[in-house]
Structure 1
């Protein structure tokens, strides 16, 4: 079974449906590329997927090891390049309030930085990740 089904809706928008759950999302071209910027752009989703994947694999490790991950969130900035138009850099500023030991924190950081999305992105895309322990 296909993971998702994507349909071009109109005016630079697409609707992607996750076939397993039926959940859907809409994308829109960004304002600087002829769109309205009304929804995540495809490159926004690619960049956002990096942070989501990092948090997911950290959560998996924490759950498997009966650890309390704590409170974790981030702000993300995507930088585009031209000729060819592509993602140049993804900067993720993670704020993490945790009571884990320094050893566990270092393990989780390594797991995050080596998540499947991080390893799938082209090596020319700069991945700038900062962990701010609160």
Structure 2
């Protein structure tokens, strides 16, 4: 098993990663009857996309002896109604100004990000807009 989820009441859950015993709490968002005090499940979906992209870039960067420490990613989730669902995710990478890469290195890293398992698992109806700010 990967995780165990416990419903805590009041639209809050605690998911525990079984290998590490690390918890993640979720809340329903305010616009869907929740408190919005934690990530919502759909926030985690969008955030997982960015984390997966960064992980794949990190693996490729390590293979190329490139240090990506300090890269930040902004995630913007867009919801749709009827039925309520994630309609799009914007992923914006910001690379440190001190990171000097050539175009070939940038292309390799970008391709690694765009082929991450989460990106390939998200339904094609969910628009993925990815920006790399080198």
Q: Structure 2: which 5+ runs fail to align?
A: none
Per the alignment, in what secondary structure is the counterpart of residue 132 of structure 2?
strand
User: How far 1:119 sits from its partner (Å)?
Assistant: 0.2
Q: Equivalent residues in 2 for 1:87-106 (5 A)?
A: 87-97=86-96, 98-106=99-107
Rounded Cα–Cα distance in structure 1 between residues aligned with 2:26 and 2:95? 29
2:3 alignment partner in structure 1: 4
User: How far 1:70 sits from its partner (Å)?
Assistant: 5.1
How many residues in Structure 1 have an aligned counterpart in Structure 2?
A: 132
Per the alignment, in what secondary structure is the counterpart of residue 48 of structure 2?
helix
The CA RMSD over aligned residues, in Å, is 1.0
Measured against aligned partners, the alpha-carbon deviations of 1:67-113 in whole angstroms (never above 9, x if no partner) come to 22353112111010011111001011211122122101111001101
Rounded Cα–Cα distance in structure 2 between residues aligned with 1:29 and 1:69? 33
Rounded Cα–Cα distance in structure 1 between residues aligned with 2:21 and 2:51? 20
Asked if residue 84 in structure 1 is aligned to residue 83 in structure 2, the reply is: yes
Ranges of 4+ aligned residues in structure 1 off by more than 3 Å: none
Q: Would you say the 8 A contact 1:90–1:127 is kept in 2?
A: yes
1:13 alignment partner in structure 2: 12
Rounded Cα–Cα distance in structure 2 between residues aligned with 1:14 and 1:70? 32
Asked if residue 132 in structure 1 is aligned to residue 133 in structure 2, the reply is: yes
Per the alignment, in what secondary structure is the counterpart of residue 71 of structure 1?
coil
Q: TM-score, normalised by structure 2?
A: 0.94
Q: Structure 1: which 5+ runs fail to align?
A: none
1:36 alignment partner in structure 2: 35
